[in-house]
Structure 1
């Protein structure tokens, strides 16, 4: 089966150990340039899934990612960045990786080969038909992910996937398949490279677009971001200065008073109009 997978095909480059540093970097970069084109071809598929997620979230649903290895780590990363970026609850976008959180740092033997494990993991969060589940697997053959989406469909949960092979077993099981066909890797089979980059770009697009559609952005600013460090506080002050055309001290005072950029802007406008 794996012999037919694009992600497992032999690299277009050979004798890598004989290349000098510049040649290695240049050739990797040339391969990376093909990734945005693969994303562009998949935009219609991404659009369909984004609209489904948005509709479910408007009615109180959540988004789940499941994956193993690099794919699982990318899902957890995207989920973990939604609360600080958009000010949403920690349980609105949930990323799960085969083997649990320890697998974020080191491989957990056989975890991705367990077809029952993903559903057990998802049940801990009471996943239900109000939610959406996206399986992430570069190969599209990961048993952990396929098992999870099959069980989800049995419970009337909408499923999608992000994979880098055409008509993979995973794609054939889900309702909405996103296939990012990036071709063979520079280092044969190393899907943390082009495939991982493509998956990261797609995840960025999905979560950011959903959050914009949910009203978590004003203009082009992250007005609901968490002010969790000095850099972000300064960014918040600059947003308020720009939006309200006030000086830095006024913006700082507003942020201290209202505790968020959105509330500072709304509070200032409300008081001004009264």
Structure 2
């Protein structure tokens, strides 16, 4: 990394409504014309709606690296756009709630029907029992305004991408280095393992059923694609081999776990090691 950053100062800068309005106005100008995103000073004041010139100048000057000035006016910087995107996503609003929405599939623990619900900054896949819920970090903007099959597919794609990033050691939250692994279930009353990611940069913890680590395995993708099933847009919790506890331990030292991805005419036996890496994929006759 380069010089130590000071994100606290950035949050302080955008804590003011006028400064945030300036950034949003410049972000909108960038959306309208990314090649020529600059906005003249007077036009920018009109967009923001601040009549007091001195007050407007004070807040514009405070934005520093979030705004750049050129001969044609002002434009938002990449950091400024990132701030606007974070605010627009809803992730910074702790009071935002959504759901519940019924979704296909059954709870891995009790077999009851499932719903999606958003609260406290997490998307919950739950049957209504807290100990049975799976939690995922997504943005409210992923959910807001979507219903039915379109909603389920959006969630499925987002979670599939999260699982793939974790498998490749990239944190879905901060994009820092992450250590993927297959680890024992932490709750003593529950047996089994889960697919886990521990971010060394932001400290975020990610967890999926073990089968999710095999969703992007080329052989698995190809086998399902040949049968017109796009695994990347399929809710993982509707796949029997991607449910909690579907894995089989086939080796202890070193750890080896297997998930059996079943198709109508064959089964793909996918074996993973303790680092969540696929070590073998075996095709088996589905009639056995």
Normalising by structure 2, report the TM-score. Answer: 0.26
User: Greater share of helix residues, 1 or 2?
Assistant: 1
**Which structure ranks higher in relative contact order (CA pairs < 8 Å, sequence separation ≥ 6)?**
1
User: Greater share of strand residues, 1 or 2?
Assistant: 2
Larger Rg: 2
